[in-house]
């Protein structure tokens, strides 16, 4: 009886020559994995918005199995958010997304990001929930003049310390006191 081990996943930084492949992988992933959660019009808008090479300021990590790109994730450089996390549909639900997300979270921690945000597709919500992301609100992004529903989610990577909580409480208390004084003092003078 032979046991088949899952293939080894290697994660590396993306190179410029990876970009055309990442676009194709992203489009395949949207068409295949998101079809049950979005209307054909919404899928078309999603696909149209992702049809170009990524040009945002982001750190992109690529997952490979035996030299084949099977997924990628992108961490924004100018804000504490995940811009993308896509897995080839032929390799979905094999732990690739989890490893990419762990890599993105580690990169965020290295940049001292304490809380990571994501606008998750409806398809991705259960995945992020399983990775301890909490839902903040339901939202929409407008793509090709169509609203496409997403879920804004966040994960606290480094919880605030007790002293940070106390200082925040003091700061808000002083702010409230200032507002009260600004309202009351003119009334009594």
Q: How confident is the model at residue 183 (pLDDT cuts 50, 70, 90)?
A: confident
Helix/strand/coil for 90: helix
The CATH T-level fold of domain 10-158 is Aminopeptidase (3.40.630)
Q: What are the distances in angstroms from CA 22 to CA 61, 62, 128, 130, 165?
A: 11, 9, 21, 25, 41
pLDDT at 55 over 70: no
What is residue 43's predicted lDDT score, i.e. its pLDDT?
Answer: 87
What is residue 116's predicted lDDT score, i.e. its pLDDT?
Answer: 96
**Nearest to 33, CA basis, from 22, 46, 21:** 46
Q: What is the pLDDT of residues 15-36, one digit of tens each?
A: 989 999 999 999 899 989 988 9
Q: How confident is the model at residue 53 (pLDDT cuts 50, 70, 90)?
A: low
Q: How confident is the model at residue 6 (pLDDT cuts 50, 70, 90)?
A: low
Contact call for residues 157 and 114 (beta carbons, < 8 A): yes
Q: Average pLDDT, whole number, for the chain?
A: 88
Please state the pTM of the whole predicted model: 0.79
Which is higher by pLDDT, 73 or 171? 73
CA distance 137 to 166: 27
Looking up tokens 């804000």 gives 79
Contact call for residues 84 and 47 (beta carbons, < 8 A): no
Please give the average per-residue pLDDT across 174-185, as a whole number: 84
Q: What is the pLDDT of residues 103-140, one digit of tens each?
A: 999 999 999 999 999 999 999 999 999 999 999 999 88
Residue ranges per structural domain of the chain: 10-158, 161-189
pLDDT at 2 over 60: no
Q: What are phi and psi of 80, to 5 degrees?
A: -85, 65
């Amino acid at each position: 009886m032979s046991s088949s081990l899952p293939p080894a996943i290697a994660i590396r930084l993306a190179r410029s020559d990876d970009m055309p492949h990442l676009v194709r992988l992203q489009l395949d992933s949207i068409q295949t994995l998101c079809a049950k959660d979005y209307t054909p019009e919404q899928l078309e808008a999603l696909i149209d918005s992702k049809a170009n090479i990524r040009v945002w300021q982001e750190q992109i990590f690529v997952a490979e199995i035996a030299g084949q790109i099977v997924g990628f994730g992108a961490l924004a450089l100018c804000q504490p958010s995940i811009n993308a996390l896509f897995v080839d549909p032929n390799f979905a639900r094999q732990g690739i997304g989890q490893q990419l997300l762990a890599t993105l979270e580690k990169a965020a921690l290295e940049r001292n990001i304490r809380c990571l945000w994501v606008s998750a597709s409806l398809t991705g919500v259960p995945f992020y929930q399983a990775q301890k992301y909490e839902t903040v609100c339901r939202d929409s992004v407008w793509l090709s003049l169509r609203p496409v529903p997403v879920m804004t989610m966040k994960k606290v990577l480094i919880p605030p310390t007790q002293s940070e909580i106390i200082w925040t409480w003091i700061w808000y208390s002083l702010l409230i006191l200032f507002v009260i004084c600004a309202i009351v003092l003119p009334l009594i003078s």
